[in-house]
Amino acid sequence: MASREEVRRRELEQLSEWARQYEEVKQREAKRSALVKVFYTEDYKMLALKNILFAIAWLFVGGAFALFLRTQAGLCSQGLPVIVCPQYYFQAMTNHVMDMIFGAVFSTVFAVSFYMIPALNGSRLIKWPKIANAGLWIATIGLFMMNLGGVENQYLFTFLNPLRASPTWYIGYALMVVGEWMEMASVLGTSFLGRIQGKLVPTAIGFIVMDMIMMALANISVFIDVIWSLISPIGGIGVYLFGVPNAEIWKGLFWFADHPLVYFAPYTLTGAIIAIVPLYAKRPIYSVRFARWLIPVLFVLGASVYVHHLVDDPWPLILRDIFAQTSTALIAIPFAALWLLFFITLGNPKKLKWDVGLAFIYAAAVWNIIGGIQAEPTQPTPSVDPTVHNTLWLPSHFHIMLALYSVGGLLGVLYVVGPDLWGRKWYSEKLGWLHFWGWEAGMGLLVTSFAIGGFYGAIRREVAWPAFYEVYYQMAMIGGWLAGFATIIFAYNLILTLLYGQKVKQTDLPLWAVQTIALERLGMRREGYKEEEMPVALPADGMIRILVPEERSSEGTATGTAVGAKAVESSADTKTNLSTNIKNK
């Protein structure tokens, strides 16, 4: 067993090498113009910022489609074209779903991944940046093509022949999957690039890596399904493969494997929450070991929850009614355990120092519990789900899980790490609170009205309905517009922050990452983990310290002066070590 000093020496050597490589990245970045960086960047912060800006752009585009839907539904129950005609109503519905999930949410997940992994492991390096940048643009072009399908762009209804999506929709979807694969590959490579053999990665990185693997595997059958659909009569080319009806293949391959997409944001969000919560609690997560065990459990269950899309189809019993049905019911258990760790770690809410970031994250946890309670009695039950699944009860559920839990939680993460990411404090805390309350109240009103309407039998995916249900669509319209105005406030605050926000002191490594790693190491030490298997300890002040060999003390410990990353450049021709003054508790 290596001594603590030997372990630390190895860590310092690796941190030194990473610092040297990152300095080379900074030198190359300095030679690129701002326009070039839009298309290609190697810097982990810039790559994360690009994904965030893309996410915000899609949030507004997808939000505009949502407001078309909500306003049309809120002003007319007869399908008359008050805002949009019926065929464009359904096109807007498809585009809203695509833009919000694959544009806004997926881009934010990649932003969090590209930023948090290099920060937490101390490398500040991106693996295969060319693949990451190309993947972002390819996925964006694909999603843009999916928005150009015209009135045929009704993929939500392709299960119902003869409705179909346009060829551009399927081609765009295929391109988008390829782009996602490229970004996922870069994220996975980045996680391994910043790993020292024999050491555990930080728990937050473990969740993100698991998430990327799950979605990369799930996209295999989705890609096959998209190509199958493209060459079939529904896709426009008109070829029947093996005489198998296209609609059944689409349902099977798409939902069987692509249902994990609903967990793509929650799993990366979970990793971010695991990293951020100790900062507010000022103590380690209640059980690091238990949190790490949640990773494989959530992977297995999250990859197999699809029964409520196939429950009334002639699929094999072992897949449809036993394995998937059981997984749908069981996945509530690890999420309940996760939130138990969350609330125990934070402790008494009255003793917390509340800000907008914590409020969004805390609200996300509460909404996830509400959404789980809403779904568990119905979706795993074959006798109930086919009926409930086609009412507004279901849009209520996935808006809770997507808008209030996933998007709300990710917004909270951005409020916490944003000042380091763009180097400025948030311009206005009041605007941040207006964003929080507007989003929570608006989306809360929308999901409540959907849930009540669905309980009384309001059918979803319709453009006309009995006047009895119109009041619920009116409430949803009000809620949607309130959330829309809150989003405008968020964008306004972000623009003011980037232009006029007070600059924050920049350190080589983000201080939030330094603190969360220190707390995780403390928790792991208490739980009996060995020193040599813990994540790399980061410098307590976030600054890289350069050691000169002759400055070693008689005890063999390293001393040096905090001179920042530029010192690495000046001593690039000699082997340097990094020291840290972080206290090993």
**Per residue in 373-396, pLDDT tens?**
988 777 767 677 777 878 999 899
- Give the residue among 60, 72, 71 at the shortest CA–CA distance from 96: 60
Q: Given this model, what pLDDT does residue 449 score? A: 96
Question: Percentage of the chain surpassing pLDDT 70?
Answer: 82
- φ, ψ of residue 415 to 5 degrees: the values are -65, -30
Residue 323 has pLDDT above 80, yes or no: no
Query: What rounded mean pLDDT belongs to the chain?
Result: 85
| pLDDT, tens digit (0-9, with 9 covering 90-100), for 308-319 | 666 656 666 666
- The rounded distance, in Å, linking the Cα atoms of 166 and 69 is 21
Name the DSSP letter for residue 546.
Answer: E
Predicted pLDDT at 576: 33
Stronger pLDDT, 75 or 566, i.e. the higher one: 75
How far the first Cα of the chain sits from its last, in Å, is 20
Name which residue leads in pLDDT, 48 or 563.
48
As a whole number of angstroms, the distance between CA 500 and CA 427 comes to: 7
Question: Of 508, 563, 576, which is closest to residue 539 (Cα–Cα)?
Answer: 508
pLDDT greater at residue 118 or residue 552:
118
Confidence of residue 462 (pLDDT cuts 50, 70, 90): confident
* Structure confidence at residue 578 (pLDDT): 34
Say how far apart CA 260 and CA 309 lie, in whole Å: 12
Mind listing the pLDDT tens digit for each residue in 335-360? Answer: 999 999 999 999 999 999 999 999 99
The answer to whether residue 519 scores a pLDDT higher than 80 is: yes
pTM: 0.89
Task: Report the range of poorest mean pLDDT among 193-202, 372-381, 516-525.
Answer: 372-381
Which of left, alpha, beta for 564 (phi over 0: left; psi -120 to 50: alpha)? left
Dist CA 585 CA 523 (whole Å):
10
Element containing residue 437 per DSSP (H, E)? helix 429-455
SS3 per residue for 157-197 = HCCCCCCCCCHHHHHHHHHHHHHHHHHHHHHHHHHHHCCCC
Contact (Cβ atoms closer than 8 angstroms) between residue 110 and residue 187: yes
How far apart CA 288 and CA 202 sit, in angstroms, is 10
Return the ∠ at Cα 558 (arms to 552 and 564), rounded to 5°: 115
Which region among 87-101, 461-475, 556-570 has the lowest average model confidence (pLDDT)?
556-570
Maximum Cα interatomic distance, the chain, rounded to a whole number of Å:
86
Question: Residues 398, 401, 407, 409: what is their CA dihedral angle, to the nearest 10 degrees?
Answer: 170
pLDDT band at 584 (very low <50, low <70, confident <90, very high): very low
Average pLDDT (191-196) is: 89
**If DSSP codes are grouped into helix, strand and coil, which group holds residue 562?**
strand
Q: Counting beta carbons within 10 angstroms of the beta carbon of residue 332, is it exposed (0 to 12), middle (13 to 18) or buried (19 or more)?
A: middle
pLDDT category at 252 given cuts 50, 70, 90 is: low
Q: What are the distances in angstroms from CA 360 to CA 411, 471, 486, 561?
A: 7, 29, 13, 39
pLDDT higher than threshold 50 for residue 513? yes
Q: For 27-61, how does the pLDDT look when each residue is reduced to its tens digit (9 = 90+)? A: 999 999 989 999 999 999 999 999 999 999 999 99
- pLDDT at residue 294 greater than cutoff 50: yes
Separation CA 190–CA 195 (nearest Å): 9
Q: How far apart are CA 273 and CA 175, in angstroms?
A: 31
Of residues 576 and 328, the one with the higher pLDDT is 328
In whole angstroms, what is the distance from residue 364 CA to residue 247 CA? 36
Q: Is the pLDDT of residue 125 over 70?
A: yes
Question: What integer pLDDT is reported at residue 259 of this predicted model?
Answer: 73
> pLDDT (tens digit, 9 = 90+) per residue, 158-193?
555 455 677 888 889 899 999 999 999 999 999 999
d(CA 379, CA 386): 9
68 contact partners, CB below 8 Å, separation of at least 6:
83, 84, 89, 92
